[in-house]
Amino acid sequence: MATTSARALKLLSIFGIGMTLTAGELAIRLGASVRTVRRDIDTLRDLGYEIQAVRGSGGGYRLGPATRLPPVVFDEDQAVAAAVALQTVPTILSGIRENAARALATLHQAMPARSRIHAEAFTVSAARNYWEFPAPPIDAEIVHTLGSVINRQHLLQVDYTGDDEPVTLTLEPHELVVWAARWYLIAFDVNAHRWRAMRVDRITPRTPMRTPFARRDIPHGDPVAFVMTTPDRGDAAAEWRCRGSVILALPASVVARFAPGGSAVEYDTEHSCRLTLGAWSWPGLAGLFLTFDADITDVEPAELREAFLSLRTRIGRCLSDG
Domain ranges of the chain: 2-63, 76-120, 138-226, 242-321
Higher pLDDT, 51 or 97: 51
Higher pLDDT, 85 or 192: 192
What gap in Å lies between CA 182 and CA 5, rounded to an integer?
41
Q: How confident is the model at residue 250 (pLDDT cuts 50, 70, 90)?
A: very high
pLDDT for residue 291: 94
What gap in Å lies between CA 312 and CA 322, rounded to an integer?
15
pLDDT for residue 1: 45
Q: For domain 2-63, give the fold.
A: Arc Repressor Mutant, subunit A (1.10.10)
Please determine, for residue 198, whether its predicted confidence score (pLDDT) is greater than 80. yes
CA dihedral angle for residue 18, residue 19, residue 22, residue 26, rounded to 10 degrees: -70
Please determine, for residue 124, whether its predicted confidence score (pLDDT) is greater than 80. no
pLDDT for residue 60: 86
pLDDT for residue 141: 87
Q: For domain 138-226, give the fold.
A: SH3 type barrels. (2.30.30)
What superfamily does domain 242-321 belong to in CATH?
Malonyl-CoA ACP transacylase, ACP-binding (3.30.70.250)
* pTM metric for this prediction: 0.67
